[in-house]
Amino acid sequence: MKILVVDDEALLVKGIRFNLQNDGYDVVTGSNGLEALELARDPAVRLIVLDIMMPQMDGLTACAKIREFSDVPIILLTAKADDIDKLIGFDNGADDYLTKPFNILELKARIRALLRRTARPKEERPNILTIGSITLDLDARNAYRSGVLVDLTAREFDVAEFLMRNANRVFSREALLDSIWAYEYRSDIRTLDVHIRRLREKLEEDPAKPKYIMTKWGVGYYFKK
């Protein structure tokens, strides 16, 4: 699997590349947002690790532009730990977020989790999930509302698929984070709220009055069948 790593800290990139190559990944690297855009167009790239603070084009802008042509998972790296910065990252299409300095083992765990989500064998799941006007093509990982293709990020697709597979079952935020993110993410619980809001904007006819992606106040979320 080819992974793209883009950061203007040469030593950090060298360390990430060394560790990922030791795990058998094919790693390509860049040092700014413009290079990230160019390298991300390679159809062989399966995941992108992208720094936010970079010259020529920052990582948030690069992430948003990459989302115009690719839905590969994107992990943002940043020296900032503020929640608002994380929410901005998710709003720009990121799937995950890691604050510097970080343990390389945690980065590798998050990479494995995201790659598992986007590379599960076809025989583990039906080809199509449909509830009302919402359809997920699980082989192509495409989402449709009333037959019209809707652009979802990899993580948004994961959330929609999980909720639709378990329609009418209410999940707490903690349970959803544990099930979908596949690692401990309790400190970033608003991550899920951002993804739910974005899914409503994309899949519901009226996001303010959702028909499918419902909130059970004081409990969590569910997909209404």
Q: Residue 109: how many CB atoms within 10 A of its CB?
A: 14
Nearest alpha carbon to residue 32 among 8, 65, 61, 64: 8
- pLDDT at residue number 92: 84
Tell me the domains of the chain and their CATH numbers.
Answer: 2-118 (3.40.50.2300), 122-223 (1.10.10.10)
- pLDDT at residue number 82: 62
* Tens place of pLDDT per residue across the chain (225 aa): 899 999 999 999 999 999 999 999 999 999 999 999 999 999 899 999 999 999 899 999 999 999 999 989 999 998 876 666 667 778 888 999 898 889 999 999 999 989 987 765 544 545 899 999 999 998 889 999 998 999 999 889 999 999 999 999 999 988 888 888 765 445 467 788 899 999 999 999 999 999 999 999 989 999 999
Tell me the C-alpha distance between 225 and 214, whole Å: 10
Tell me the C-alpha distance between 207 and 196, whole Å: 10
Greatest alpha-carbon span in the chain: 51
Q: pTM of the full predicted structure?
A: 0.63
Give the Å distances, CA to CA, from 80 to 35, 86, 205: 23, 9, 35
